[in-house]
């Protein structure tokens, strides 16, 4: 019996492969298209276009509530929606090719039962975006990322004809709207501080929480009577200013952002569909009452030293017996504040430090930094090469993308407490999760160094330090030497990359992605007024079976005046040397498939 089944299967496969173009044209079970050209690719594209048109006519009725009719051209927009999945269509097509009088003839066809497979990849992507949103809600509460990827997933669903889309048991058709509504309804604004800086400016500081926990990142806007003001909250706080008549407001009409039109290019499929599909619309209005300030959030640190007027340095309990040069560290904070207040004084403040001068000047130039307040409470800790003061609050202003943001910086000193570097801090959730909350004191310097390296990387974008970014993505190993990176070629027994599945990229693709990324980044730095970079997810994974080796996995997205990008960054860091070694940096643009992402397990270390 089994033998008979195999014979029938082989015969049926042979029969299909022997079908002629004329026979397929007459068979109602197939969609088909044909093209002729002297160029194979052009002939294939023509065949694909004709085939897509025929599928569009057939499935238009299923898309009626999802795709914009656009002047009555429903079928045409359905066709555009299908073309956004051309890669998936090609995977399921079969071709008959021949040459006729000097031209290449391509006949493309697909069985109607196979059409459903075209939408499989799109469903998987929508599911991965939903999972990413769920991860944010259960972890660091980056609500900006959660809302953005949720909405992008809903845009993707509009290009799938199924009335109900279920992936891995999750009904995305109902779950996505339910999730977005729940997020926006649970966000709470409370006043933290209200200051009148002058007769014409009032500065407001708000606490933002979700489920009684500080929000890691959130974008919202309000109308000040004349213009829309866009604000970004970070680590539970948002700082913004009111001018003119809006200074008298007792309440603001706030709107939680979820649409992220300007970020649509982060995911190619979303960008291609943006003007085609009918967009879901949500009511995310929230009244922001400018009432009496609330009490500040209690910190998980114990005060140790009030160093100077307005500056309080505190130290975690685990470092209570460390001899820290408080006066010098306090002076470092004062000098930094002076540089922010008077950007032209940087050279006078740091006359002997060309490195710090350039970095500060570039940072101030490209981010228009300001101080929300002079009173600072900063956590001071020992580091690999000295000390750090963490969470110095600053504000950034990016006028060309209409964004005001709150940031927290980390000031670094040498072993004597002299200020010599600074970085933009990652969110507080990541710091406490991967550095402070681990009870293993022996591995603390390693985890701290990893986080500080990632913070150096983010700051390189803020200061547009192309030299450092090029180093980070070079093929050679890097060593972390104080505030700089140095290439270390000819490392014996470099880790070997191995694919864990057919869908994973090969080495040449990873090299090309980095080269292309660096070339594009150079032109962006030269041509864009404002750039805002964020990490939406961040993980540190210990390499199994190898001591003191860690993998760092993170999603990076940034927005500039005229360009957006998103991708997955992987680092492999080895602490089995005098100076930490960074072996591997991979960049996978717009990759969301978990099976294709490069991870710690991909590398063999000898």
Q: At what angle do helices 143-157 and 172-185 cross, to 10 degrees?
A: 150
Q: Has residue 6 been placed in a domain?
A: yes
SS3 143: helix
Q: Give the whole-angstrom CA distance, residue 432 versus residue 300.
A: 10
Q: Has residue 152 been placed in a domain?
A: no
484 and 573 share a domain? Answer: yes
Confidence at residue 296, expressed as pLDDT on a 0 to 100 scale: 39
Closest CA to 529 of 563, 505, 496: 563
DSSP codes joined into one string, 342-354: -GGGHHHHSTT-H
Domain stops at, among 119, 154, 183 = 119
pLDDT at 53 over 60: yes
Q: Has residue 568 been placed in a domain?
A: yes
Q: Give the whole-angstrom CA distance, residue 238 versus residue 288.
A: 12
479 and 419 share a domain? Answer: no
Q: Give the whole-angstrom CA distance, residue 300 versus residue 312.
A: 15
Q: Give the whole-angstrom CA distance, residue 269 versus residue 274.
A: 9
Structural domain boundaries, residue 473:
466-606
**Distances from the Cα of 494 to the Cαs of 342, 491, 516, 599, in angstroms?**
47, 6, 24, 16
pLDDT (tens digit, 9 = 90+) per residue, 193-237? 888 878 888 889 999 999 889 999 999 999 988 888 889 999 899
Q: Has residue 225 been placed in a domain?
A: no
Q: Has residue 482 been placed in a domain?
A: yes
pLDDT at 409 over 90: yes
403 and 514 share a domain? Answer: no
Confidence at residue 481, expressed as pLDDT on a 0 to 100 scale: 60
Going by the DSSP 8-state scheme, the letter that residue 280 receives in this structure is P
pLDDT (tens digit, 9 = 90+) per residue, 373-389? 778 888 899 987 899 99
pLDDT at 13 over 60: no
421 and 470 share a domain? Answer: no
476 and 415 share a domain? Answer: no
Q: Averaged over 291-297, what is the pLDDT?
A: 52
Q: Give the whole-angstrom CA distance, residue 107 versus residue 36.
A: 9
Output Rg (C-alpha) for the chain, integer angstroms: 28
Q: Has residue 344 been placed in a domain?
A: yes
Q: Give the whole-angstrom CA distance, residue 465 versus residue 522.
A: 10
The angle formed by the CA atoms of residues 402, 406 and 409, to the nearest 5 degrees, is 130
pTM of the model: 0.72
89 and 6 share a domain? Answer: yes
490 and 597 share a domain? Answer: yes
Confidence at residue 295, expressed as pLDDT on a 0 to 100 scale: 42
115 and 14 share a domain? Answer: yes
The angle formed by the CA atoms of residues 377, 357 and 558, to the nearest 5 degrees, is 70
Confidence at residue 15, expressed as pLDDT on a 0 to 100 scale: 45
DSSP codes joined into one string, 359-395: HHHHHHHHH--B-S-S-EEEEEEE-SSSEEEEEEEEE
Q: Do the Cβ atoms of 494 and 583 come closer than 8 Å?
A: yes
Domain stops at, among 103, 119, 135 = 119
571 and 472 share a domain? Answer: yes
Instruction: Report how many domains make up the chain.
Output: 3
Q: Has residue 132 been placed in a domain?
A: no
User: 406 forms bridges with which residues in the sheet?
Assistant: 395
Handedness of CA 108, 114, 117, 118 (dihedral sign): positive
394 and 479 share a domain? Answer: no
496 and 593 share a domain? Answer: yes
- Taking all residues of the chain, what is their mean pLDDT, rounded to a whole number? 81
Q: Has residue 542 been placed in a domain?
A: yes
Confidence at residue 68, expressed as pLDDT on a 0 to 100 scale: 60
Query: Could you tell me the two tokens for 594?
Result: 């978990």
Domain stops at, among 374, 393, 425 = 425
Q: What are phi and psi of 485, to 5 degrees?
A: -115, 145
CATH number of the domain where residue 540 is located: 3.10.450
Closest CA to 396 of 441, 462, 487: 462
Q: Do the Cβ atoms of 573 and 453 come closer than 8 Å?
A: yes
Cα dihedral: 325, 328, 334, 335 (round 10): -140
DSSP codes joined into one string, 520-581: HHHHHHHH-S-EEEEEEEEEEEEPTTSTTEEEEEEEEEEEESS-EEEEEEEEEEE-SSSS-E
């Amino acid at each position: 019996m089994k033998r008979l089944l195999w014979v029938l299967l082989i015969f049926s496969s042979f029969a299909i492969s022997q079908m002629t173009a004329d026979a397929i044209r007459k068979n109602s079970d197939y969609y088909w298209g044909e093209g002729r050209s002297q160029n194979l690719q052009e002939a294939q594209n023509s065949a694909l276009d004709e085939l897509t048109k025929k599928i569009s006519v057939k499935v238009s009725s299923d898309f009626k509530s999802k795709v914009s009719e656009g002047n009555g051209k429903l079928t045409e927009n359905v066709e555009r929606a299908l073309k956004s999945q051309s890669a998936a269509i090609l995977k399921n097509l079969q071709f008959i090719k021949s040459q006729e009088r000097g031209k290449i003839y391509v006949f493309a066809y697909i069985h109607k039962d196979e059409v459903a497979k075209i939408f499989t990849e799109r469903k998987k992507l929508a599911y991965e975006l939903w999972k990413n949103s769920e991860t944010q809600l259960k972890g660091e509460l980056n609500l900006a990322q959660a809302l953005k990827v949720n909405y992008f997933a809903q845009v993707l669903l509009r290009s799938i004809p199924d009335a109900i889309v279920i992936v891995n048991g999750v009904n995305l058709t109902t779950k996505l709207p339910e999730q977005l509504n729940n997020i926006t309804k649970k966000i709470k604004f409370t006043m933290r501080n209200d200051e009148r800086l002058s007769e014409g400016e009032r500065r407001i500081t708000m606490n933002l929480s979700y489920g009684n926990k500080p929000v890691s990142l959130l974008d919202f806007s309000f109308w000040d009577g004349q213009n829309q003001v866009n604000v970004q909250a970070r680590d539970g706080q948002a700082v913004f200013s009111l001018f003119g008549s809006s200074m008298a407001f007792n309440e603001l009409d706030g709107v939680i952002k979820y649409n992220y039109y300007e970020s649509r290019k982060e995911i190619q499929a979303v960008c291609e569909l943006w003007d085609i599909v009918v967009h879901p619309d949500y009511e995310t209005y929230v009244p922001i009452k400018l009432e009496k300030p609330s009490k500040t959030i209690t910190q998980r640190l114990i005060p140790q030293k009030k160093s100077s007027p307005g500056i309080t340095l505190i130290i975690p309990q685990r470092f209570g017996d460390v001899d820290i040069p408080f006066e010098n560290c306090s002076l470092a904070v004062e000098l930094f504040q002076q540089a922010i207040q008077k950007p032209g004084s940087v050279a006078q403040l740091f006359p002997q430090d060309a490195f710090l001068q350039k970095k500060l000047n570039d940072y101030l130039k490209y981010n228009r930094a300001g101080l929300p307040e002079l009173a600072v409470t900063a956590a001071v800790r020992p580091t690999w090469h000295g000390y750090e003061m963490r969470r110095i609050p600053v504000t950034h202003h990016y006028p060309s993308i209409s964004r005001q943001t709150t940031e927290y910086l980390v000031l670094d000193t040498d072993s004597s407490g002299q200020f010599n570097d600074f970085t933009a801090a990652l969110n507080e959730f990541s710091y406490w999760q991967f550095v402070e909350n681990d009870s293993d004191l022996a591995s603390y310097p390693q985890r701290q160094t990893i986080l500080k390296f990632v913070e150096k990387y983010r700051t390189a974008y803020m200061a547009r330090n192309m030299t450092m970014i090029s180093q980070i993505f070079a093929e050679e190993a890097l060593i972390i030497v104080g505030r700089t990176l140095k290439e270390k070629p000819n490392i014996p027994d470099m880790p070997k990359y191995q694919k864990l599945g057919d869908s994973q990229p090969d080495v040449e693709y990873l090299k090309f992605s980095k080269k292309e990324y660096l070339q594009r980044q150079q032109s962006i730095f030269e041509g864009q007024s404002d750039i805002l970079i964020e990490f939406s997810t961040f993980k540190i994974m210990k390499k199994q079976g190898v001591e003191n080796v860690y993998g760092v996995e993170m999603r990076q997205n940034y927005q500039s005046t005229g360009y957006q990008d998103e991708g997955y960054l992987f680092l492999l860091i080895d602490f089995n040397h005098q100076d930490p070694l960074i072996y591997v940096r991979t960049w996978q643009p717009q990759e969301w498939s978990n099976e294709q992402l490069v991870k710690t397990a991909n590398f063999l270390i000898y």
